[in-house]
Amino acid sequence: MPFIAFIYRIEGNPRIYYGKHDSEYISDDHEGLDIEVKYNLLQAINRYRTTKKTPILNESQITVGILSLSINKYIPTYSSDAEIKCFDYYHDYNGNLFINGIKQI
């Protein structure tokens, strides 16, 4: 499975967050890998913030930095589901979104 590992920051917050985006396919026709993951990231964060009754964010308030990309079909990249709890944000290849290890509905 191809995946993108990244960090992200939320405007006004000095903390660095960690994310991973697993996918069935990552296109090479895009404007930047950071932009590729930002859409799902923003949706998940805003869903989470709504449940916590905190203001939602707009796209300009999140900055994404790519740490790595793996697209090689022939090298095993499998990780167990336990790794989900290690990330602040996790998008699995089935489209499930997790914030702090908790699946978002």
Tens of pLDDT, residue by residue over 22-80, are 877 676 666 788 888 898 899 999 999 999 999 999 999 999 999 988 876 666 666 77
Categorize the per-residue pLDDT at 8 as very low, low, confident or very high, splitting at 50, 70 and 90. Answer: very high
Q: How confident is the model at residue 94 (pLDDT cuts 50, 70, 90)?
A: confident
> Is residue 44 a contact partner of residue 59, using CB atoms and an 8 Å limit?
no
Residue 10: other Cβ atoms inside 10 A: 15
Structural Rg of the chain based on CA atoms: 13
- pTM metric for this prediction: 0.84
Domain range spanning residue 16?
Answer: 3-104
Tell me how many domains the chain contains: 1
Which residue, chain included where needed, has tokens 């900055």?
Answer: 63
